[in-house]
């Protein structure tokens, strides 16, 4: 029983440390990772493969994508012509930072 409690306390401590880390890295990581994984098809928030679906607010809202969660869902389960990225390729934390970058930039 004691071991379980210790494990929980350690887990909690580790989670809070990584949460603090993600706050620190916010802007730059989202931008860097966008450039690494997305900009090949979405240069400057456009869309080379399907010009009707760029990353600007109007187009996103037309597809009912209004939140960070909506963009993360698209990364995990994209439409035709877009690469699918699972958690191995882009972690939830990274996907969230990329989504925040998109919402505030395009
Ligand atoms: C291989 C090219 C390619 C890559 C790489 C790619 N996308 Fe896309 N993306 C597309 C295409 C094509 C569509 C349109 C798909 C559709 O019809 O739903 C799209 C659509 C989207 C949309 C919805 C746009 C809208 O107006 O409805 C979002 C959000 C998006 N991509 C985000 C990303 C993010 C974030 C990344 C990087 C993690 C990424 N994409 C990487 C090709 C790509």
Structural domain spans, the chain: 26-105
Counting from 1 in the atom list of ligand 1, the atom nearest the Cα of 81 is: 12
Average pLDDT, the chain: 86
Q: Quick one: average pLDDT of 52-73?
A: 97
Calpha distance 48→55 (Å, rounded): 11
Q: What mean pLDDT comes out for the span 58-78? A: 97
Residue 55, CB-side half-sphere exposure with 13 Å CA sphere? 29
Is pTM beyond 0.75? Reply is yes
Is the pLDDT at 59 greater than 80? The verdict is yes
pLDDT of residue 15: 55
CATH topology for 26-105 is Cytochrome Bc1 Complex; Chain D, domain 2 (1.10.760)
Residue nearest ligand 1's atom 5 by CA = 38
Structure confidence at residue 28 (pLDDT): 84
Q: Could you tell me if the CB of 42 is within 6 A of ligand 1?
A: yes
pLDDT at 67 over 80: yes
Select from 30, 37, 44, 47 the residue to mutate for testing ligand 1; criterion: most ligand atoms less than 8 Å from CB: 47
């Amino acid at each position: 029983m004691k071991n379980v409690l210790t494990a929980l306390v350690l887990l909690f401590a580790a989670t809070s440390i990584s949460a603090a880390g993600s706050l620190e890295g916010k802007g730059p990581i989202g931008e860097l990772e966008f450039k690494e994984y997305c900009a090949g098809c979405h240069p400057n928030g456009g869309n080379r493969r399907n010009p009707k679906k760029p990353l600007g607010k109007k187009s996103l809202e037309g597809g009912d994508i209004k939140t960070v969660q909506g963009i993360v869902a698209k990364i995990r389960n994209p439409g035709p012509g877009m690469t699918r990225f699972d958690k191995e390729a882009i972690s939830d934390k990274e996907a969230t930072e990329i989504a925040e970058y998109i919402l505030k930039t395009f």
